[in-house]
A and B are shown apart, each in its own frame.
Chain A
Amino acid sequence: MTVPENLHYTAEHEWVAIDGAVASVGITDFAQQALGDVVYVSVPAAGAAVTAGEPCGEVESTKSVSDIYSPVDGEVVEANPEIDDDPGLVNTDPYGAGWLLKIRLSDDTEPAGLLTAEEYSALTKEAE
């Protein structure tokens, strides 16, 4: 299981990459392994407002379904256009081609309440 050092994380197993005013969001390697083969991802379209800590989509796998929680406040600027045809990208490349959303942050300050790679790793070890 990989937890890249340069990303932020949530306790709900999303990762966040902040680049200026835009946050890229996906689900972690730990989450995709726990879910198994992802068959469908539902995420809000560009223009939708999202709120930190609120469900904004869902991931269906063979065995289960999980909510996606927005890690930040903001507005969706792009949903991954590849994911509808190839939801398996979430399994094969969760931190890369399997990204889910790009969200324009609603204010300039660094989003609060996110976990570091170290904190997230510790959390997943507890879960095991």
Chain B
Amino acid sequence: MTTPDTAKPRETPLRGVHERLGATMTGFAGWLMPLRYRSETAEHQAVRSAAGLFDLSHMGEISVSGPGAATALDYALVGHLSAVPPGRARYTMICAADGGILDDLIVYRLADEEFLVVANAANTDVVRDALRERAAGHDAQVTDQTAAFALIAIQGPAAAGILAPLTDVRLDGVKYYASHRGLVAGREVLLARTGYTGEDGFELFSSPEDAERIWATLTDAGSAAGLVPAGLAARDTLRLEAGMPLYGNELGPDTTPFDAGLGRVVKLGKPGDFVGRAALAAASQAPARRVLVGLRGATRRVPRHGYAVLWDGRRRGTVTSGAPSPTLGVPIAMAYVDPEVARLAAAGTADDQPSTDEHGAGGTADGRLAVDVRGRAEPALLTPLPFYHRIH
């Protein structure tokens, strides 16, 4: 099916729930989505300390099935999907012939001849069309199933404890990036141990009709443990703290996986050709054009998407994502910078102050590295990614 490019946004099966909860809704990639329910900072902190419940039904689900499904995906994507056993999942990417990223994906192998490709909402049509084109001649069917699925994520250290009594799936048998069919709240789901928050958690793919029931059951069971509904605003700061890239910010058609520091997802050793192989093989050998780094603001003014990164007052990079970090209490950002600047800033940090604090940010801002925050250079520190590691 196609997404009509009209002003009327698509609504998820949980629209009524969000309305009853009084969510602030926002347009996102053609969908009407909850931005926040109350305080996005409180939602963020609940996911770090207890659990959060997310409606991710806008994500694209594309089924690739048939005898040639595995080889079709090996050709279409940069990963080695035919090597993934049924029941497991991979983080991977779909690239153009020039190596530019069309989307980042999670691909679940559900059975020998059945895969579920989860795409970003904004890219679902592009991914579906590219998969169809690339699967031609591989004896595989590519079907956009987005409307056939609701997707609810429960994320946070309390997630497993809340979910366990509500499902027949033995959760300690479900590894990170594994999936299992089973029941949650008596409804059939595909239960996966995946997420985008830096916490342990699960994603539940269900039929749209069952979404409200699953949401309500999780809410009732989890409230006492601190589970709260969480919106896209919290999701963005959670993934930023966890150093996870976002398509449209860190990833895009002018970026290769190597630029993003994610060259490991490109399986140049897999058999056969794949779209982008020649360009990506070259990119893997070439000196880096730019480096994705973490920055920590030394003042309270926040580096944001598109702001210039300065070295000795000259523009040497661009911020891709930035926000005040609810966990660290300071502004954090990811940015592409000139490799030389990354090297100099890292050396400066090491020389100035060999000790690192608990969050891994060493040194003091000497002002050579800065971000142009709306006309004023605000000193920044190079910081290893991710900004946040879970300790649970």
A65 near B40 with CB under 8 A, answer: no
Residues of A within 8 A of B304 (CB): 64-65
Say whether chain B's binding surface is mostly helix, strand, loop, or mixed: mixed
CB <8 Å contact, A36 and B36: yes
- Residue A62 at the chain B interface, CB threshold 8 Å: yes
Residues of chain B from 28 to 77 with CB closer than 8 A to chain A in the complex: 35-36, 39-41
Is there a chain B Cβ closer than 8 Å to A42's Cβ?
Answer: yes
Q: B300 and A60: CB pair below 8 A?
A: yes
| Known contacts A33-B24, A62-B40; A40 and B233 CB within 8 A of each other | no
Q: In the complex, which residues of chain B have a beta carbon less than 8 angstroms from the beta carbon of A65?
A: 301-302, 304, 374
Contact across chains for B300 and A36 when beta carbons are under 8 A apart: no
> Judging by beta carbons under 8 Å apart, are B39 and A37 in contact?
yes
Counting contact residues on chain A (CB < 8 A from B), the size range is 10 to 19
B302: contacting residue among A36, A37, A40, A91, CB under 8 A: A40
A39 close to chain B: CB less than 8 A: yes
**A125 beta carbon closer than 8 Å to chain B:** no
Tell me the bound Cα distance from A63 to B326 in angstroms: 12
> How distant is B119 from chain A, measured CB to nearest CB, in Å?
24
Q: B24: which A residues are within 8 A, CB to CB?
A: 33, 36
Asked whether, in the complex, the Cβ of A36 is within 8 Å of the Cβ of B233, the reply is yes
CA of A6 to CA of B40, assembled, Å: 31
User: Counting CB contacts under 8 A, is B219 at the interface?
Assistant: no
Chain B contacts for A91, CB-based, 8 A = 39
The B175-217 residues at the A interface (CB cut-off 8 A) are none
Closest to A42 in B: B301
Q: Which B residues are CB-close (under 8 A) to A40?
A: 300-302, 324
CB-contacts of B287-325 with A (<8 A): 300-302, 304, 323-324
- Give the CA-CA distance A91 to B24 in the complex, in Å: 15
Size of B's binding interface in residues, CB under 8 A? 17
**Cβ contact within 8 Å between B302 and A60:** yes
B324 engages A39 (CB within 8 Å): yes
- B39 contacts which chain A residues (CB < 8 A)? 36-37, 91
Chain A, residue nearest B323 (CB): A62
With contacts A36-B233, A65-B374 taken as known, whether A60 is within 8 angstroms of B301 at the C-beta atoms is yes
Which residue of the partner chain B has the closest CB to A62?
A: B40
**Other-chain residue from A58, A60, A62 in contact with B237 (beta carbon distance below 8 A):** A62
What is the bound-complex CA distance between A68 and B324, given in angstroms? Answer: 19
B300 touching A37, Cβ below 8 Å? no
Are A39 and B374 neighbours in the complex by a CB distance under 8 Å?
Answer: no
Within residues 74 to 99 of chain A, which ones have a CB less than 8 A from any CB in chain B?
A: 91
Give 29 A-B contacts (CB < 8 Å), ordered by A residue.
A33-B24, A36-B35, A36-B36, A36-B233, A37-B39, A37-B40, A39-B300, A39-B324, A40-B300, A40-B301, A40-B324, A58-B301, A58-B374, A60-B300, A60-B301, A60-B302, A60-B324, A62-B41, A62-B233, A62-B323, A62-B324, A62-B326, A63-B236, A63-B323, A65-B301, A65-B302, A65-B304, A65-B374, A91-B39
Using a CB–CB cutoff of 8 Å, the interface residues on chain A facing chain B are: 33, 36-37, 39-40, 42, 58, 60, 62-65, 91
CB-based closest 3 A-B pairs: A40-B300, A39-B324, A37-B41
Known: A36-B36, A62-B40, A65-B304. 6 other contacts (CB 8 A): A36-B233, A37-B41, A40-B324, A58-B301, A63-B233, A63-B236
